[in-house]
Structure 1
Amino acid sequence: MLNAEEKQFIIKICKLYYFESWTQEKIAVKYGISRPAVSKLLQKARDEGIVEIVIHDERPEAGELEKELEAAFALKQAVVVPTRDLNEDLIYSTVGKAAAQFVLRTMKQAERIGVSWGTTLHCAVKEFPFEKKDHVKIIPLVGGMGNDKTEIHSNQIAYELSKKLGAKCESLYAPAVVETEELKNQLVQLPHIASVLEEGKQIDLALVGIGNPFALSTMEQIGYLTADVLQELKAMDAVADINSRFIDKNGALCRHPINNKVIGMELEQLRSVKTVIGIAVGSHKIDSILAALKGNYLHVLITDEETASGLSARLREQPSHSKLSMEESP
């Protein structure tokens, strides 16, 4: 039984977490305790009946959107997270929580998990609870991107996820994109880089983000995409990047030299992974997500409600969209 002082302390933590949307890390800093301790206290609150979580799902829209996307693209599952009326930060954290819970349920049989990079993946990993999965190994699927925004790099996401799961972790000590194809070919032959890339081919589960090179592009902000390259990609109908490789509106790999300079998993290799989970947020990514779906790179899509509604509207505009399954992809 909790004494009165312990109960009041737990209530304070719960109010910060549930009412004010503080992260567990922020609460831990405020009270000088560890993140796992905060997680345990939140669970204690539920066990003791201090907190009761009731879900009133009065909007069938999310479920209908999920069914529509699953049918349109032969997905194993679509997860549409209700996010109406939430601000941008809360949308990312809410989708991140849903993604974390989905991955935890899905990864029971996985021994090797590959991770790409991006803001949404970073948010998902932040929302993972601490669970012991010491049989698992986390492998980055693409190289790093310099010293900017290191928290969303594949290596860092792999490391943070491995800490949450008590798992082993590899690091891919190479840039995501190098200056020349010749340099790329030299680097991928280095023993450590070659071994990590080889492990990437053996993953059971992949978590990937989907980028739009022309809107809020991290690759452009960091400097990988110059104005000339962007113009060339636009001329090729490029609308998305997965694992730092660019695809056109139909999901085909663009024939641009930049795709030959990437150090990381090839998209054809991604298609051979048993379960690929794509996580993407924002209406600016509607065309990008559609391209990834048309290219049959994903088995599962996790997104927010507004973006899913935009995908649905776009499908109605294009009644002849493909329904190819992963097995039917070229």
Structure 2
Amino acid sequence: MQTTVKNLEVSRLVSKVLFSHFKENRSQSDISKSLDLSPAKVNRIIRQAREEGLVEIILNIPHIGVMELEKELVTNTGLSKAVLCPSYSEPASSSVIQIASVAAEFLQDTLRKNDVICISGGKALASIVEVIKPSKGMNITVLPATGGVQGRHFTDVNYLASKLAEKLDGESMQIHAPLFADTQSERDLLINMRATKEVLDMARHADIALAGIGAVAKGDESYFDLRHWAKNEKSLVAESQCRGEVFAHIFDQDGMGCIEALNNKLVGLTLEELSNIPVSIGVAAGADKVAPITGALRGGFLNTLITDELTAKHVLDMY
């Protein structure tokens, strides 16, 4: 009987402490005075209550599901960082702007003084450069990670490197060579030219890489606007197992390079070189980007992903 009474007293004391702290929002020091307990004992009661499951904390904060999804992506895919924006039933153009804004904010939070950043070309990068906030005194260097594309001025990597450096009050360099050479031997010649080699060597040792993740499954994506195609080349890609591209290197759903005859004509960093950059960021969203993102994560050449909530869910389902 004495034991039962004692247990009841302890139980009531624990209940009083927990109710006072979590329901009445009273401080631990206030509770210790009112119940004539030492502050250490009040703290111990609250800590043990958490450990024994007597306390459950429910956070009714905006986008808690998004943050949980970010953690799930990191845990399941080996990413170092996942940054997601909520998915809303808005026009696709609004989603692009939203993701670009998130990517721009993440980039500026990540950048440190004197950092070197290398980038790809493309629409995603153009959107990020457009919305990034100007900053001063960072001494950032922005480099193209690939050669350029004629006729695509506002999404060309050299133009974007220049504009991003301007926004960041830094400096940029350019690669005066095409993204695709006509042959592998021509490509080897181009990347070993002193002017090109100097920029690519700096890009290989960049602190941050920022790239769009493209799709290639249908044959009408942006990748197919990057060069003049020989007869049957375009259909060869569309009919293959290739699903995505980063730095214009095409890869399948498992992150393995495919149609190496095309990849070997590229003037730029390889996917292996990309994976060696400390912070390698991929940006993409949408149903058509699920397989490319999955392949990029399986290939391990990106350690940071910026996308939206719905795309991330589909990537986890496929991964």
Short-chain TM bin: 0.7 to 0.9
Q: 1:279 to 1:133 in 2, by over 3 A?
A: farther
Contact 1:97-1:128 at 8 Å conserved across structures = yes
CA distance in structure 2 between the partners assigned to 1:153 and 1:82 by the alignment: 29
Contact 2:125-2:211 at 8 Å conserved across structures = yes
Contact 1:83-1:94 at 8 Å conserved across structures = no
SS in 1 for 2:305: strand
TM superposition shift of 1:290 = 0.2
CA distance in structure 2 between the partners assigned to 1:101 and 1:241 by the alignment: 24
AA aligned to 1:201 is R
AA aligned to 1:209 is G
Structure 2 residue runs without a partner (length 5+) = 1-59
Contact 1:84-1:306 at 8 Å conserved across structures = no
Q: 1:142 aligns with which of 137, 140, 146?
A: 146
Larger Rg: 2
Q: Does 1:114 align with 2:115?
A: no
Partner of 2:41: none
Q: 2:271 aligns with which of 253, 267, 273?
A: 267
Question: Deviations for 1:240-270, whole angstroms, at most 9, x for unmatched residues?
Answer: 1110111111111224211111000111111
Q: Does 1:170 align with 2:186?
A: no
Contact 1:99-1:302 at 8 Å conserved across structures = yes
Q: TM-score, normalised on structure 2? A: 0.76
Q: Does 1:156 align with 2:167?
A: no
Percent identical: 26
Question: Deviations for 1:91-123, whole angstroms, at most 9, x for unmatched residues?
Answer: 111111111111111112561100012211111
1:277-316 alignment to 2 at 5 Å?
277-315=281-319
AA aligned to 1:206 is A
Q: 1:91 to 1:57 in 2, by over 3 A?
A: farther
Contact 1:220-1:226 at 8 Å conserved across structures = no
Contact 1:278-1:300 at 8 Å conserved across structures = yes
Question: Deviations for 1:13-54, whole angstroms, at most 9, x for unmatched residues?
Answer: xxxxxxxxxxxxxxxxxxxxxxxxxxxxxxxxxxxxxxxxxx
CA distance in structure 1 between the partners assigned to 2:209 and 2:311 by the alignment: 22
Corresponding pairs, count? 259
Q: Once structures 1 and 2 are overlaid, which stretch shifts more, 107-116 or 258-267?
A: 107-116
Q: Once structures 1 and 2 are overlaid, which stretch shifts more, 106-115 or 288-297?
A: 106-115
Q: TM-score, normalised on structure 1? A: 0.74
Q: 1:263 to 1:61 in 2, by over 3 A?
A: same
1:143-292 alignment to 2 at 5 Å?
143-148=147-152, 150-215=153-218, 216-225=220-229, 228-234=232-238, 236-292=240-296
Contact 1:84-1:305 at 8 Å conserved across structures = no
Question: Deviations for 1:138-187, whole angstroms, at most 9, x for unmatched residues?
Answer: 00001111113x21121111111101001010011111011111211222
TM superposition shift of 1:313 = 2.7
Structure 1 residue runs without a partner (length 5+) = 1-55, 316-330
Contact 1:277-1:299 at 8 Å conserved across structures = yes
CA distance in structure 1 between the partners assigned to 2:168 and 2:214 by the alignment: 26
AA aligned to 1:151 is F
